[in-house]
Amino acid sequence: MKIVGGRGKDLLLTRDGLRSTYLPKYFKEAGFLRYQKVQLIQPTCNELILRLVPTADFRGDEDEALLVRVCKDSLGSEFAVRIELVDEIPPTGACKNQMVISQPAINHLRRIQHS
């Protein structure tokens, strides 16, 4: 299996295997629009870091609690979620914004490809 381009790269590794994710959809469904850009990083199998460029009307702790709840409801309660508010999310080398960066998912896909 080879993941090529597009939203197919937006994968997390969960206890149940690979899972596709699209944060703007989850945020919109929860009525949360107070952000400019978002990026989800999965450094370990049970940890998520949500990087967010907030808008001026971001509501601090209230919105952070909402974001943690949306992540857990949408992606699974198995994850410890940490919110990082940032001024910008730098683009990748191809000048694109990578919404999901998951080292566990990449490692899992490599193992599958080499099996």
Q: Is the pLDDT of residue 3 over 90?
A: no
pLDDT in tens, 62-76: 999 999 999 999 998
Asked whether residue 24 is domain-assigned, the answer is: yes
Tokens 């193992």: give the residue: 111
Both tokens of residue 42? 């999965």
CATH number where 36 lies: 3.30.300
Residue 1 resides in a domain: no
Residues above pLDDT 90, as percent of the chain: 60
Higher pLDDT, residue 76 or 9: 76
Q: Is residue 3 part of a domain?
A: no
Q: How far apart are CA 108 and CA 110, in angstroms?
A: 5
The count of domains in the chain is 1
Q: Residue 56: give the domain boundaries.
A: 10-113
Say if 101 falls within a structural domain.
yes
- Tell whether 2 is covered by a domain: no
Is residue 58 classed as helix, strand or coil in its secondary structure?
A: coil
